[in-house]
Amino acid sequence: MLKKIIFPQDYIVFKEVWVLALPVIISNLSRVLMSLVDVAMVGHLGPEALAATGMGGMLVWGALSLVLGIRTSVQTISSRRLGQNKKRECVKALNNGFLLAAAYSFPISIIGWFYGPQLIPLFIVDDITTPLAVSYFRIASAGLFFNSISFVFQGFYTGIEKTKVHLSVTIVSNLINVYFNIGLIYGKEKVGQFFINNLETFNLSFLWFWADFDGLGVSGAALGTLIASMWMTAHYYLYLQKQKMVKKVGGFVNVGLDKKMLKKQIQLSFPMGIQEMMIAIGWSVFYKIMAIIGIVELATTQLLFTIMHASFMPALGVGQACATLVGKYLGTKEIKKSEKSINEALRMSEYIMGSMGLFFILFPEFILSLFTSDQNIITMGTWGLRVIGVIQFVDAVGFTMFLALTGAGNTLYPAMVESSLIWFFMLPLSYCFGVHFGLGFKLPWVIFAIYLILMAIILTVKVKKGDWKEIEV
């Protein structure tokens, strides 16, 4: 029995998941490095700067949430049509995704830029933190279009099993992000001090000779990420011109739009996108609760969520590979292989996230000290990071089942489960115990752990039910 749990039961499918997942894992980790770099650099500016970046970033992620549904629709349609050997329709799914992403992101960018000063105070009110969060949010909002188009590219390349494309795109983008972040955040004078204090062995401050101005702080972090996002979009486009599938159909512009498919993609993306938006707003409210408790608590939460976000990127990569294979094998009517893809993906996710969980439990202080020198944040965050370490094993299950269902075309149910648990369980109890009863930082994090357990159980039951096998897309 134990052998069946630990070791792969179908090595061919296990290998197939791994080959698809590995480039996505590296790409996802590289992509989230943008956030980690922002946090690591801003974290040395103080808890207010860290809290501002966290709140601004969370609201930007909320604005991007609808695009996650569009990305999923592109990936789901592309993988299913790949299995049916309808390559022209894969490219049509990409075009439709571009249209939907552009139509959404342009007006949202404008709203974010002009109404950021009114929106931010709804979530955080602090004389120092609020203006910083406004500045970060407005600049980040300007990058929503580029991030949206990049998400569409990600869905397409993952759907057609060209996941290696993500590697070079995200790695180069992150190098650009790191480079500009250091110069823009600290300015010429403080760049040298940054290396002396943090990376003395690798003092490369001479590379920022051009940054002959005072550092822009939080605004510099947002601007550096904006530049990197612009490059990411351009880089994905350059790869598109090399794709044999695209060349075969005469270029992505040549295939035009498919109104029937567009309707199907809206049906897939809109419910999930709305639910994801509700989820993102929910997390912003969770940040609001932490802000009420205290700025240090908010800063600690931002740091913990950033680390946790990085930790589940491997499981997300495995889940995305699983979604592609589930969609493809449903397209070829190989139902058993779809089931095996889910089982082997779950096994792989447990390997990876379980290992990370043990690392978080054993070395929390060391990990936190990489991002901040504030002892209050480190002390508070140590307990939180150990909680995250324990629930890594559960989170692996939730992620895999969530993405397996979306790969099959059931985008609504998992998103509804997650948003319902956030709004009707986690947020009310977090406010009740953390704010109303004054129990502070720890109780909301315990409730967060219970929420992940409940989601994993509900989604596992849904997958076991098996009705996802009958979905047509």
Percent pLDDT > 70 in the chain is 92
- Whole-number pLDDT of residue 244: 74
**Cα separation of 358 and 366, whole Å?**
14
**Confidence (pLDDT) at 43:** 73
Per the model's pLDDT, the better-predicted residue between 457 and 208 turns out to be 457
Task: Give the pLDDT band of residue 128 (cuts 50, 70, 90).
Answer: confident
Residue 385 reports pLDDT greater than 90: yes
pLDDT at 4: 63
- At residue 332 the predicted structure's pLDDT band, cuts being 50, 70 and 90, is confident
Q: Which residues pair with 250 in a beta bridge?
A: none
* Predicted confidence (pLDDT) at residue 258 exceeds the cutoff of 80: no
Tokens of 158: 């993952």
Q: Which residue type does 332 have?
A: T
Q: What is the mean pLDDT of residues 206-219?
A: 84
Highest mean pLDDT among 49-53, 145-149, 182-186: 145-149
Mean pLDDT of all residues in the chain? Answer: 85
Cα 367 to Cα 23: distance, rounded to the nearest angstrom? 25
pLDDT of residue 149: 94
Per the model's pLDDT, the better-predicted residue between 37 and 333 turns out to be 333
Low-confidence winner among 209-213, 217-221, 432-436 (lowest mean pLDDT): 209-213
Query: 1 pLDDT exceeds 60?
Result: no
Which pLDDT value is given to residue 137? 92
Q: 431: pLDDT confidence band, cut at 50, 70 and 90?
A: very high
Q: Closest by alpha carbon to 57, among 227, 258, 226?
A: 226
Greatest mean pLDDT among 21-25, 183-187, 271-275: 183-187
Grade residue 54 by pLDDT with cuts at 50, 70 and 90. Answer: confident
Q: What is the distance between the alpha carbons of residues 254 and 261, in angstroms, rounded to a whole number?
A: 16
Position 447 confidence tier, pLDDT thresholds 50, 70, 90: very high
Q: What is the pLDDT of residue 278?
A: 80
pLDDT at residue 161 greater than cutoff 70: yes
Q: Span 273-282, mean pLDDT?
A: 79
Summarize the confidence of residues 132-161 as an average pLDDT.
Answer: 91
Domain limits of the chain? 8-470
- How large is the average pLDDT for residues 13-38? 75
- pLDDT value for 227: 94
81-90, 268-277, 383-392 — which one is most confidently predicted on average?
Answer: 383-392
- How far is the C-alpha of 63 from the C-alpha of 70, rounded, in Å? 13
For residue 249, pLDDT beyond 70:
no
| Dihedral over alpha carbons 429, 430, 435, 441 (to 10 degrees) | 140
Write the single-letter amino acid at 36.
L
Mean pLDDT of 66-94: 86
pLDDT at 34: 65
Cα(231)–Cα(8) distance, integer angstroms: 39
**151, pLDDT greater than 70:** yes
Q: Check whether 2 has a pLDDT greater than 60.
A: no
Structure-model confidence comparison of residues 203 and 95, the more confident one: 95
CA distance 259 to 304: 43
Gap between the terminal Cα atoms of the chain? 37
Could you tell me how far CA 87 lies from the centroid of its own chain?
28
- Contact between 366 and 338 under an 8 Å Cβ cutoff? The reply is no
3, pLDDT greater than 70: no
- pLDDT > 90: what percent of the chain? 27
Contact 195, 218 (CB under 8 A): no
**Looking at residue 226, what is its pLDDT?**
93
CB 267 within 8 A of CB 471: no
Q: Which of 287-296, 330-339, 381-390 has the highest mean pLDDT?
A: 381-390
pLDDT of 256 > 70? The answer is no
What is the model's pLDDT at position 190? 79
* Lowest-pLDDT choice from 210-219, 272-281, 398-407, 420-429: 272-281
**What average pLDDT does range 96-112 have in this prediction?**
91
CA atoms of 402 and 342, how far apart (whole Å): 11
CA distance 25 to 37: 18
* Helices 313-331, 11-42: crossing angle, 10 deg rounding: 140
Q: Is the pLDDT of residue 380 over 70?
A: yes
Lowest model confidence (mean pLDDT) among 17-31, 84-98, 107-121, 290-304: 17-31
